[in-house]
Amino acid sequence: MKFICFTLLIICRITDSRAEQYEVVGAVDPVFAVAGEDVILPCLVEPNINVVDMRVEWFRLNLEDSQVHLYDDHVDKNTDQSQSYRKRTKLNHQELQRGNASLKLSSVQVFDEGLYKCFIQSKSWSDDATVNVSVEAVGRPPVITVDGFDHSGGLHLQCESEGWYPEPVLEWLNSEGVSLSSETTETHRNSDRFSVKHTITVHHRDDKIHCRVKLRHHELETLIITTSKRFSSWRTLIILISVFAVLSVIAGILIAVFAQKYRVLVLVNGSSIVFDVRRTATPQL
């Protein structure tokens, strides 16, 4: 009898504590955010129990003064919130009822990149999850400038672009989309943004050169159309041939018209000659 009671007690304890248990789930993969835009940092409770009565705390890992958002006693308590996050965080209280403690972060900055922890505490249980936020800042469209020719007729080009984060990849591509290797490469970091400058020398066969600057999820591209000397002399020749052909056609038409008039004249003369001949011939008959 004692043994049965004891077993029941244990079973009761186990089921009781299981009812209190939940798991907090963040994001396995990094969350990508774009500088200037908004992002949702995911945090879900499984099973999807109501967490309205619980404490929800978002903070940054490996960073002092790291409180990002605090919800406690049914209200947002952001008096100790880090200055960098002032007025930029929002916890949807309706979603809390469905076990969703995802945080909306507005006007993302490069500074926001890093690890965040979502900590959810009930009276008898607590769990947390980590969210890794990666930020991308899209810079200015690349600008290609022509830096002159070298003695062998190669064209020196320079491509520049600024305002990127993280460090972007710059590549030159020919008209077939084949990557061309840069001659010189330069990267500068200005506070949290990168600027890049690459140069290349192109020879006559490539007539369209693209300069592409890219991050993992964004890219910008500029195109320059170069015409080599040989190509332009070919073009001049083609234009000359075309003009010559058009002139020939016009000349042909004019000659034909004149010739027809001339032929009419000849015919008139001819007929007059014939007439004359007839006239002169008639008395002979």
Residue 132 CA to residue 114 CA, distance in Å, equals 6
Burial class of residue 56 (count of CB atoms within 10 Å of its CB; 0-12, 13-18, 19+): buried
Three-state SS at 188: strand
95 makes contact with ligand NAG (CB under 6 A):
yes
In sign, the C-alpha dihedral spanning 93, 96, 98, 101 is: positive
Q: Which stretch binds ligand NAG (CB under 6 A): 7-15, 96-104, 154-162, 271-279?
A: 96-104
Q: Which residue's CB is nearer to ligand NAG, number 102 or number 195?
A: 102
> Least separation, in Å, of the C-beta of 2 and ligand NAG?
48
Q: Token pair of 192, please?
A: 């949290």
> Least separation, in Å, of the C-beta of 86 and ligand NAG?
19
SS (H, E, C) 94-115: HHHCCCECCEEECCCCHHHCEE
92 makes contact with ligand NAG (CB under 6 A):
yes
> Least separation, in Å, of the C-beta of 95 and ligand NAG?
4
> Least separation, in Å, of the C-beta of 11 and ligand NAG?
34
Residue 117 CA to residue 140 CA, distance in Å, equals 33
Q: Which residue's CB is nearer to ligand NAG, number 67 or number 102?
A: 102
Query: In the set 25, 34, 40, 63, which binds ligand NAG (CB under 6 A)?
Result: 40
105 closest CA partner among 82, 86, 124: 86
Query: In the set 11, 30, 53, 203, which binds ligand NAG (CB under 6 A)?
Result: 30
102 makes contact with ligand NAG (CB under 6 A):
yes
Query: In the set 77, 104, 204, 218, which binds ligand NAG (CB under 6 A)?
Result: 104
Residue 178 CA to residue 167 CA, distance in Å, equals 22
Q: Which parts of 158-217 interact with ligand NAG (CB under 6 A)?
A: none
Query: In the set 84, 121, 126, 132, which binds ligand NAG (CB under 6 A)?
Result: 132
Three-state SS at 2: helix
> Least separation, in Å, of the C-beta of 208 and ligand NAG?
33
Task: Give the side-chain half-sphere CA count within 13 A for 256.
Answer: 6
63 makes contact with ligand NAG (CB under 6 A):
no
Pairing of strands 219-225, 193-202: unpaired
Q: Which stretch binds ligand NAG (CB under 6 A): 92-100, 136-144, 218-226, 248-256?
A: 92-100
31 makes contact with ligand NAG (CB under 6 A):
no
71 closest CA partner among 85, 89, 86: 89
20 phi, psi to nearest 5 deg = -80, -20
Q: Which stretch binds ligand NAG (CB under 6 A): 94-102, 146-154, 231-239, 240-248?
A: 94-102
> Least separation, in Å, of the C-beta of 47 and ligand NAG?
13
Residues in touch with ligand NAG (CB under 6 A):
30, 40, 44, 92, 95, 100, 102, 104, 115, 132, 134
